[in-house]
Amino acid sequence: MANHKSAIKRIRSNEKRRVLNKYQHKTTRNAMKKLRETSKKAEAVKLLPKVFMMIDKLAKKNIIHNNKAANLKSGLQVHVNGL
């Protein structure tokens, strides 16, 4: 158990950040899943920039690695182009 005031505060802030990161990551994964399930090209093209923006935000905040973000975006772009 933490003994210092700063350590207690760090535990609280880490927990708050963990919950927020988990929410953002899950929301992005759901958006990617929705995009992959889309069969209409026009709808997918409209959804693509929003999903890319979400992935970029995760990478910027180090929730996911930059290379993983690039791989995800590349895969989604290939999927949309193939529709």
Tens digit of pLDDT for each residue in 27-41?
999 999 999 999 999
What is the token pair recorded at 48? 């693509």
> Would you list the domain boundaries of the chain?
28-83
- At 12, the amino acid letter reads R
Cα gap 62→17, rounded to integer Å: 12
Backbone torsions φ then ψ of 50, nearest 5 degrees: -65, -45
Write the pLDDT tens digit of every residue in 4-22.
999 999 999 999 999 999 9
Which pTM was predicted? Answer: 0.84
The rounded mean pLDDT for the chain is 94
SS3 for 83?
coil
Q: Could you tell me the maximum CA-CA distance found in the chain, to the nearest angstrom?
A: 58
